[in-house]
Amino acid sequence: MEVKLWNDKREREMYENFAELYAIIKATEKLEKAYVRDIISSSEYETECQKLIAHFKTLAFTLKDTVPSIERFADTYKMDCPAAINRLVTSGVPATVEHRAAAAASATTSAAIVAECVQNFITTMDSLKLNMVAVDQVHPLLSDLSASLNKLGVLPPDFEGKMKMKEWISRLSKMGAADELTEQQARQLHFDLESSYNSFMAALPSAGT
């Protein structure tokens, strides 16, 4: 005796779409595992993954009324496919695209911090040239410079600029807000800033920025 899964053409299409969705999720899970294990190249992975994501988005839109939750669909049919759900539902783009975006964002962030460091170096040196030598004028500038240097991960902890700024901030913290640097102290600070700035600029190419 033949058992029918559907009563009409509409139901038949729905079950066929269910089968297609099931296949896409399973295929994506296999693809993700193959990529992680280096079984396929990045270019092969990206091409196939984009195809699966495109098919999935089209099918998910078609089934949005009957399958409002892909996660629930996977649970209902006992599909253990966490990588596929993440790629198709959460991410929506191939892992290779995610990695490129993250690298670009990291490079953009680093460039912004480098620009911030340069600006803080120049502002502090210019302030000393303008005879802004009171502790409450110099301390905030050195603090901003130190903070920006510490944000740049490519610089080692013992980088000259970091160490010198830390020493000067410590020295200024022991003085009163209205106290002023002597001419000799101001000259030494400017020298240390210039030396640190030159070391900073020299460090950038070798750090890959």
Note the pLDDT of residue 1.
Answer: 47
Name the strand (E) or helix (H) holding 146.
helix 135-151
Rounded Cα distance between 193 and 198, Å, is 9
Residue type, 110: S
Backbone angles phi, psi at 4, to 5 degrees: -95, 135
Q: Which of the following CATH numbers is that of domain 107-202: 1.20.120.350, 1.20.120.1130, 1.10.1060.10, 3.50.50.60?
A: 1.20.120.1130
Note the pLDDT of residue 142.
Answer: 94
Note the pLDDT of residue 208.
Answer: 41
Radius of gyration of the chain (CA): 30
| Secondary structure E strands in the chain | none
Note the pLDDT of residue 106.
Answer: 72
Is the pTM for the entire model greater than 0.85?
A: no
| Every domain of the chain and the residues it spans | 9-93, 107-202
Q: Which ranges of the chain have pLDDT less than 70?
A: 1-7, 205-209
Render pLDDT for 86-104 as a digit per residue (tens, 0 to 9): 999 998 899 988 888 777 7
Which tokens belong to 185?
Answer: 């102290």
Q: Which fold has domain 9-93?
A: de novo design (two linked rop proteins) (1.20.1440)
